[in-house]
Amino acid sequence: MSTPTEPGRDRTEPALSEIVGERRHLINLAYRLLGSLAEAEDAVQETYTRWYALSRTQQDAIESPGAWLTTVAGRICLDVLGSARVRRERYVGEWIPEPLPDRTEWPGGPAGGGGSERADPADQVTLDESVNMAFLVVLESMTPAERVAFILHDVFRYPFAEIADIVGRTPAACRQLASSARRRIRATQAPAVVPAGQAGLVRHFKEAWEAKDIEALVDLLDPDATMIADGGGMVGTVLRPVEGGERIAQYLIHIADIAPGLVLLERTVNGRPGLVAQHTGVTVTVAAFSLTGGRITRIWAVRNPEKLRPWTENGQS
């Protein structure tokens, strides 16, 4: 954007502040829509690129820059979601949404006094129920249009008239899309477990794994539990889900045997208690959990180094 002349400075600076101030909202929206912080960053960058490509006259003609940015970001994410299915068909192994840390738990982040001028995008994402791993995994089962309509309406409270402009359908059709998405959520949603209860179970799981106590692990896992690992073909891991509590326990003991010195840390993963595994001081796995009836029913283990960037670039330890 060109440097404004002195007479126009008073008009330009508030507008610029408004535009820059939308970044947090856009990152929050794009991450929930795409399940990937890296893709969310790209989508938001492209949104700003399109804004700054407008002439000053075109920018001044936009009544609400924030609404314009949201509309453009939504359309970009819709396009990315459309192409993501093709890309994920070629993905090596299982694909899991990118895990996010709690900013209070990484010393290099703002809470630790890192002092960087540009906030890490992970710090821009508000952690709530709409980003817990179980919720994001269900979103992956939706069509792109369902996901966009549902997130915009049910999470960000946008009216269907505005969503229609983003999705390119009628408000009535968008209402149906959101309704279909809600049915998917209800069909797969397990009873809520309070974070304190989950933290205790995850701690017992950690202790049993460290002790290589297979009986304790089996007792903590639901008999029909499933573990999914995402290595993206970049690191060694199982390419298919491991099903059954006993098989998962055996696999975890095997990992402990072949990776001596593995350090397990209790950390917040997407707003819920989870585990981080480090080897020789490097974060190699981030695990999220889903619980039902006092037992672990799902484990999502992310090992793809590209998805662990927020956990490694900020000195997670």
CB–CB of 33/147 below 8 Å? yes
Determine the pLDDT at residue 9: 39
Determine the pLDDT at residue 192: 60
Determine the pLDDT at residue 25: 96
Determine the pLDDT at residue 314: 53
Determine the pLDDT at residue 123: 78
Determine the pLDDT at residue 106: 57
Determine the pLDDT at residue 124: 80
Determine the pLDDT at residue 308: 94
Q: Which CB contacts under 8 angstroms, 24+ apart, belong to 58-65?
A: 59/15, 65/15, 65/18, 65/19, 65/22
Determine the pLDDT at residue 252: 96
Measured distance between the N- and C-terminal CA atoms of the chain, rounded to whole angstroms = 40
Residues of the chain with pLDDT under 50: 1-11, 13-14, 107, 110-117, 315-317
Q: What domains does the chain contain, in order, with CATH numbers?
A: 6-188 (1.20.140.160), 195-312 (3.10.450.50)
Determine the pLDDT at residue 51: 96
CB–CB of 300/96 below 8 Å? yes
Q: Residue 260: how many CB atoms within 10 A of its CB?
A: 7
pLDDT digits (tens, 9 = 90+) for 178-189: 999 999 998 887
Structure tokens belonging to residue 181: 């998405």
Q: Is 277 exposed, middle or buried (0-12, 13-18, 19+ CB in 10 A)?
A: buried
Determine the pLDDT at residue 85: 74
Q: How far is CA 231 from CA 81, 105, 141, 239, 312, in A?
A: 21, 24, 20, 8, 16
Determine the pLDDT at residue 17: 82
DSSP codes of every residue in the chain: -PPPPGGGHHHHHHHHHHHHHTHHHHHHHHHHHHS-HHHHHHHHHHHHHHHHTS-HHHHHT-S-HHHHHHHHHHHHHHHHHHHHHHHHHSSSS---PPP-B-GGG-TTSGGGT---SSPPHHHHSPPSGGGSHHHHHHHHTS-HHHHHHHIIIIIT---HHHHHHHHTS-HHHHHHHHHHHHHHHHHHPPPP--HHHHHHHHHHHHHHHHTT-HHHHHHHEEEEEEEEEE-TTTS---SS-EESHHHHHHHHHHHHHHSTT-EEEEEEETTEEEEEEEETTEEEEEEEEEEETTEEEEEEEE--GGGGHHHHTTT--
Determine the pLDDT at residue 75: 98
